[in-house]
Amino acid sequence: MKLDLSEIAAHLGKRINYSLNEKPIVDAESGLRCIDPIVGQIAFSNTGRTIDVRGKFQTVVSLECGRCLKAYVMPIESNIEESLPLEGQPWALAAIESDQEELPEDEVEPLFVDNIFDLGEYLRQSILVNVPIKPLCDEVCKGLCPRCGINLNDQTCECEEEPEESPFGALKSLLEEEQEN
Ligand SMILES: [Zn+2]
Ligand SMILES: [Zn+2]
């Protein structure tokens, strides 16, 4: 989804409200899977130096628990706060030149080129920032049994504990080794 902001860029002080209602983003590369549309409100305003983007959005993502591998859903709600530099405008040029800190070329956001704002990419990045690096269906998720693989949240199994996990187990195997010698 790309928005043409030329109209706002051309008029100093112009402000436009935009109702967000985007199709759920499903992105194979990052594994992001929204299951609800992305809805919200955005206000664009031309401040002279930038187009300020302010608002909020919400959606629901489907995640896989890192312990039990079960799919679960997580609502995401996030604020939108972005400043898109106005380039090529007579008043903006002077402002940008007076800017002390210039970003290196490769750090310039590619979200806004020729007055076209890549809203879809912006939302994708914003949602990803809100997704936990190690998703857990529950903080106390018991995960899968390393032996038989059942989900220990739903069932219990008869598998023995790993011997290394018990100090007595380690002692027992030490004693056994000595007996063998
Ligand atoms: Zn889990
Ligand atoms: Zn088991």
What are the tens digits of pLDDT across the range 118-157?
999 999 999 999 999 999 999 999 999 999 999 999 999 9
How far apart are the C-alpha atoms of 130 and 108, rounded to whole Å? 22
Tell the burial category of 9 from Cβ atoms under 10 Å away from its Cβ (0-12, 13-18, 19+): buried
What's the pLDDT score for residue 110? 77
Query: Which amino acid, residue 46?
Result: N
Ligand 1 centroid to Cα of residue 26, in Å, is 22
Q: What is the DSSP letter of 139?
A: T
pLDDT of residue 13: 93
The alpha carbon of 65 and the centre of ligand 2 are apart by a number of angstroms equal to 19
Nearest ligand to the CA of 147 is: 2
CA of 72 to the centre of ligand 1 (A): 8
Are 16 and 9 spatial neighbours (Cβ–Cβ below 8 Å)? no
| Average pLDDT value for residue range 57-61 | 98
Residue 28 CA to ligand 1 centre (angstroms):
22
- Classify residue 86 by burial, with Cβ atoms within 10 Å: 0-12, 13-18, 19+: buried
Tell me the per-residue pLDDT of 18-53, one tens digit each, with 9 for 90 and over.
Answer: 999 999 999 998 999 999 999 999 999 999 999 999
Q: Would the pLDDT of 1 be above 90?
A: no
- C-alpha angle 173-176-178 in degrees, rounded to nearest 5: 115
Which protein residues have a CB closer than 5 Å to ligand 2 (ion)?
145, 147-148, 157, 159
| Chain centre distance of CA 127 | 4
- Note the pLDDT of residue 161: 67
